[in-house]
Amino acid sequence: ENYVNWDPVDQTVLANEQVIDGKGWRSGAQVERKKLNQWFFNISKFSEKLLDGLDSLSEWPNKVKTMQKNWIGKSFGCEINFEIEGNLPVKEVKCFTTRPDTLFGFSFLALSIDHNVSNYFRDNKEFLKFKDECSKTGTTEEAIAIGEKIGFDTGLYAKNPIKPEEKVPVYFANFVLMEYGFGAVFGCPAHDQRDFDFAKKYNLEIKTVVRPFDKDDNFKVHSEAYSGPGILINSDMLNGLEAPNNSVLETIKVLENKNIGKKQINYRLKDWGVSRQRYWGCPIPVAYDNEGNVYPIPKSMLPVKLPENINLNVKGNPLDSQNRWKEIEIDGKKLIRETDTLDTFVCSSWYYLRFCSPNNKSYAFDKNEIDYWMPVDQYIGGVEHAILHLLYSRFFMRAINHENNNFEIKEPFQSLFTQGMVCHETYKDENNNWLSPEEIEKINNKIVKKGEPNKTVKVGPSESMSKSKKNVIDPEFIIENYGADSVRLFILSDSPPEKDVQWSEQGMVSSYKFIQKLWLLHNEIKQKISEEDKLQKNSELEKFTNQIIAKITYNLDKFNYNVIIANMYETYNFLVNFIKKEKNIKNLDFNYKKILICFSPVIPHFANECLENLKLNKEVRWPIFDKNILETDEVKYVIQINGKKRSIITAKKDILENDLFEILKKDKFIEKYINKKEIKKLIFIQNRLMNILTNE
Give the residue-averaged pLDDT of 419-433.
Answer: 86
Give the span between the Cα atoms of 562 and 607, in whole angstroms: 18
> Rounded CA gap, 445 and 456, in Å?
12
Distances (CA, A) of 436 to 77, 432, 447: 50, 13, 12
Structure confidence at residue 12 as a pLDDT band (50, 70, 90): very low
Is the pLDDT score of 359 beyond 90? yes
Q: Residue 20 and residue 432: Cα distance in Å, rounded?
A: 12
Judged by average pLDDT, the poorest of 40-54, 523-537, 641-655 is 523-537
- Gap between the Cα atoms of 227 and 208, Å rounded: 11
Model pTM above 0.75: no
C-alpha atoms less than 13 angstroms from C-alpha of 557 in its C-beta half-sphere: 9
Q: Span 438-465, mean pLDDT?
A: 85
The helix/strand/coil state of 358 is coil
Minimal CA–CA distance to 547: which of 398, 450, 690? 690
The C-alpha atoms of residue 473 and residue 466 are separated, in whole angstroms, by 10
Average pLDDT of the chain to the nearest whole number: 86
533 has pLDDT over 80: no
Q: How far apart are CA 458 and CA 444, in angstroms?
A: 16
The answer to whether the peptide bond before residue 89 is cis (omega within 30 degrees of 0) is: no
Q: How far apart are the first and last CA of the chain?
A: 54
Report in angstroms the alpha-carbon separations of 557 from 550, 551, 552, 560, 561. 11, 10, 9, 8, 9
Name the percent of the chain lying above pLDDT 70: 90
Give the confidence band of 662 by pLDDT, cuts at 50, 70, 90: confident
